[in-house]
Structure formats: C-alpha cells, structure tokens
C-alpha cells in the first residue's frame, strides 16, 4: 500500500514531466490556493494613535477600536500627549469648539425645528464667551444621551472587554509628571514610540487621531 510520502513524490514526479507552460499554470494555481488559505486564516490588525484629550475627539478612537475588535481584529491604541487623558481613572473631558470651526452646535432638546438648526459659532466668539466650553460639553452630553450613544467611559470599557490593547506613551507620562496611579489598571503597556512603531508597521490599518 503506497504511503503518503510515496504519493507525494509521485505527484512531484508527474509535475516535473509537465511542459513548461503547464508547470507554470500548475504553480500559479497552487500559489493562488495557498494565498487564499493564508488570507482566510489571517486576523486583520489595526493601530490607532490617539493624541486628543477632548470629549468630541475621544469618540473616534474608542468607536473604531471597539468595532474592529468586535469583528475579530487585533487592535492597539497608543495614547500620547493629550490623548493620555482618555486613560485617566477620573474622566473630566470637555468639548473644545476652539479648533473645530466646522463643528455645529445642536440643541439637544426643544421642538424639532430648533434641534435641526446648526449653530456654527465662530472661534473668535466662542473663545471669548465665559463658560462656553462647559455649555458646549453639556449640550454634547445631552445630545449623545438623547440619541442613545454610549458615553466615553462605556465605550472605553467595551473596548477593553473586546480585547483592545491600551498602550500609554511613557515619554508623555514623564514629560507631564503624571503618576501611573492616575490611570486605569487596564493599561497593557507603558512604552515609547520606538516600541509602538514596529507594531504599527505590521498592521493593515493605521490611524492618527
């Protein structure tokens, strides 16, 4: 009874007897099959660099990370500079209209015609109105709540439950004299850019937020 090795050797011998064009065709077909297997078994990876510490800019990294992780992707977020605020135990995030000139202000309550109005307030005005940042934050919180959108703390918890790696920039921690006690216990690593970039280099998707 022929062994598996014998059968394999016979197939190789048969292929060696093929004409060059037939051998090329067999090779390309075999290569395509192996690549298809590889792609089917490959787990996509995504890295995100989070640099902002405001409430409005906290949503993109956590929404994208939790969604990708729920799809089975390997996800890592590198929190650097003001992005480290998103890893604090006590989240005190506010909306900053400054630097967001296209950001519409929406009324979270009232008649529908009022809620549909986009109140684009110029930075020159909003930055000079006392308490404007707190008002904008309150309006954003009420709007997200009315629309059933999870809060930042909930999205962060969902991301952690889905297996997202939360990586803190050690250089920024040292720069701003932060204490590790200020941050959640779920930080997976405290590293610098030199340690994170090789991870990003191997990822299919890289985002800078």
pLDDT digit string, tens, across residues 114-162: 556 555 555 545 555 555 667 677 777 777 787 788 889 999 999 999 9
Measured CA to CA, the distance from residue 62 to residue 80 in angstroms comes to: 15
Measured CA to CA, the distance from residue 4 to residue 7 in angstroms comes to: 5
On whether both 168 and 88 belong to a single domain, the answer is yes
Domain assignment present for 151: yes
Residue 186 is predicted with a pLDDT of 94
Domain assignment present for 201: yes
Residue 7 is predicted with a pLDDT of 45
On whether both 22 and 52 belong to a single domain, the answer is no
Mind giving me the DSSP string for 22-91?
A: HHHHHHHHHHHHHHHHHHHHPPPEEEEEE---SHHHHHHHHHHHHHHHHTT-EEEEEE-GGGGGGGBSS-
- Cβ-Cβ contacts under 8 Å for 65 (sequence gap 6 or more): 46, 48, 75, 77, 159, 162, 164
On whether both 76 and 8 belong to a single domain, the answer is no
Instruction: Give 45's strand partners.
Output: 74
User: If 0-12 CB within 10 Å is exposed, 13-18 middle and 19+ buried, where does residue 124 land?
Assistant: exposed
Residue 60 is predicted with a pLDDT of 94
Domain assignment present for 187: yes
**pTM for this predicted structure:** 0.71
Residue 149 is predicted with a pLDDT of 83
On whether both 89 and 155 belong to a single domain, the answer is yes
On whether both 32 and 65 belong to a single domain, the answer is no
Number of compact structural domains in the chain: 2
Domain assignment present for 36: yes
Domain assignment present for 157: yes
Element (H, E) at 165: strand 165-169
With contact defined as beta carbons under 8 Å apart, do 132 and 126 qualify?
yes
On whether both 20 and 59 belong to a single domain, the answer is no
Domain assignment present for 90: yes
Write out the residue range of the structural domain in which residue 14 sits: 4-41
On whether both 181 and 156 belong to a single domain, the answer is yes
Low-confidence ranges of the chain (pLDDT < 70): 1-19, 22-24, 26-27, 31-41, 97-133, 135
CATH number at residue 191: 3.40.1260.10
43: tokens are 């787990």
């Amino acid at each position: 009874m022929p062994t598996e090795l014998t059968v394999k050797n016979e197939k190789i011998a048969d292929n060696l007897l093929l004409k060059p064009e037939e051998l090329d065709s067999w090779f390309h077909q075999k290569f395509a099959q192996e690549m298809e297997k590889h792609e089917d078994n490959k787990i996509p990876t995504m890295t995100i660099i989070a640099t902002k510490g405001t409430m409005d800019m906290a949503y993109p990294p956590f929404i994208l990370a939790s969604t990708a992780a729920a799809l089975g992707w390997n996800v890592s977020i590198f929190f650097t500079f003001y992005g480290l605020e998103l890893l604090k135990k006590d989240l005190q995030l506010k909306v900053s209209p400054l630097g967001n000139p296209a950001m519409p202000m929406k009324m979270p309550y009232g008649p529908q015609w009022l809620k549909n109005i986009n109140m684009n307030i110029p930075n020159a005005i909003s930055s000079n109105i006392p308490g404007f940042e707190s008002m904008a934050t309150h309006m954003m919180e009420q709007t997200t709540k009315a629309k059933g959108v999870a809060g930042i703390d909930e999205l962060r918890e969902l991301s952690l439950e889905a297996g997202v790696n939360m990586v803190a920039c050690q250089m920024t921690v040292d720069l701003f004299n932060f204490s590790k006690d200020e941050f959640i216990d779920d930080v997976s690593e405290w590293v610098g850019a030199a340690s994170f970039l090789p991870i990003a280099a191997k990822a299919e998707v890289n985002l800078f937020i």
